[in-house]
Amino acid sequence: MAAGDSLPALAAFTIVEAYFLQRTLFADEAFRTVCLGALGVNLLLKGIWSLAIWPFFLNPLRHLPKVPGLMNHAQIIFDSPRGRMPLYWMKTIPNEGLIHMRDTISQSYLVATNHQALLDIMSTNTYDFEKPWRFRNFLARILGFGLILSEGAAHKKQRKALTPAFNIKNIRAMYSLMWDKTNQYLEEMEKELKLNPMEGTNIADGVGKLEMGVWGSRLTLDIIGPAAMGRDFRSLQNTDNRVAESFLNILEPTTEKMAFLAMNFTLPQWIAQRVPWRLNQVVANETGFLRNLCNDIVREKRETLAASKASTKDLEADILGTMMLGGNFSDTELVDQMLTFLAAGHETTASALTWACYLLTQYPDTQTRLREEIRAKIPSGNSPITYQDLESLPLLNGVCQEVLRLYPTVPATIREAARDTVVVGKHVPKGTRVILCPYAINRSPTFWGDNGEEFVPERWIDTDKTGAPVPNHNGGASTNFAQITFLHGQRSCIGKDFARAELRCAVAGVVGRFAFEMQDPKQEIHIAGAVTTKPVEGMHLRMRRVDEW
């Protein structure tokens, strides 16, 4: 036997030997009984340790203020709206930054409630906390392992490569694209309104009805396409657009999708994907289509760049070009990033626009004042604008900030301590789960006072030395951790300024051109969604063109 063959041969012999040894030993009934008994005793001792000794006598978190009873995961996932219970706990359980709760198997969870706790988790000790693997593996089926789901060194590498695309100079340069798409959006909505006039009106009245959620998604998809990858999907002009339809099929807020989400967070993916549930096939089909689309775009981009000898300025015209220029990414990694930006980049603003329209139907006086402010600055809907035009409007910024505060697209997210760490001076053992709840923090009386749950755009408006209103960026709160819609620190949303700019354009366009109210003023709106939040019933508006702006 050659020297190189000795190790494989020895390994094969050892495996065969072990097989016959276990067959011989386990044939002995007494030996089998001892082994099974030892296994049972070990499981029993582990159960006693995990369920009785550790949580009640040794866990360093046991002295923290507690949520009464045991937490059921379904309570959090099916909470309506998600974040309602953590907000209630923040209001009713005295604490110094952390509230402790245990689930049915005595796993510890912490809810962060004050500035210091949020600072430690999102900034000081950011990389001590990671998204739990089951959560990441499920979302990766939709988003890939892009910036949102990467951790540690991979996240630092991706963040560094992507940051140049999202500096404030580049964002402000995109206002012209956003405003142009907003005008296309307004024109297409007018056509829709004429096709769907309200009862008792005619086409000449310019009063019609539409569902704002779907239209908001089309607008934001047509903005993120050119901005992220240089591809215009033209979903505004094509109501049968497959890309828009795919995201709708995945993210549509239904009870079934919430149950599907709960299953995927509970079971490992290798089991969850084999459950005979139609949504498994829906996710596989739609994400397969989106991944193939992104693969084609990445391939075409590489071919174009190789053939054209494009300049650095040309390369940085979109996020994909910036990544190809500034990072050593494989095609698979680029596809994951494109999936992430397609989903997160359009869903955040589409949801915010929907909720902005809802709030402005509830506060018609604010809607009227906002229209007057917009028209005083911008002469017509198709007039060119600059970033200063929109960023300087106090009420527009106040409305947009309140929408993002009250209706964060992701109302709650979860982290797990990857190692022993410290939060507000308390030792947090490895494996502890931490709930970050933008819905609750953004409304908490600790930060916002007694009117934290009310829509008050004026909290974002100050006056200058002459007494003229000017936007502020804190809403009167004492810390920027009072609003965590986009989180903070190294894991904050890299596209937050992009989303805010996009929302300003969309709200300015819609309010500038249309007056709107709910089709059914008595309709009760419910907030839900498997990943992001939307109105379950849709946002059905009665809209009227206001003269010729």
Annotated binding site: 493
Q: How far is residue 370's CA from residue 367's CA, in Å, rounded to a whole number?
A: 5
Beta bridge partners of 462: 470
- 188 torsion bin: left (phi>0), alpha (psi -120 to 50), beta (else): alpha
- Pairing of β 540-545 and β 514-518: antiparallel
Distances (CA, A) of 438 to 73, 88, 307, 533, 537: 18, 13, 46, 12, 23
Q: Which residues contact 30 (CB under 8 A, 6 or more apart)?
A: none
Which residues sit in the known binding site for heme?
A: 493
DSSP 384-451: ---HHHHHT-HHHHHHHHHHHHHS-SS--EEEEESS-EEETTEEE-TT-EEEE-HHHHTT-HHHHGGG
Retrieve residue 198's tokens: 């309200």
Residue 494 Rama label (left phi>0; alpha psi -120 to 50; beta): alpha
Nearest to 413 by CA among 440, 386, 393: 440
Element (H, E) at 207: strand 207-211
Q: Are 116 and 124 in contact (CB under 8 A)?
A: no
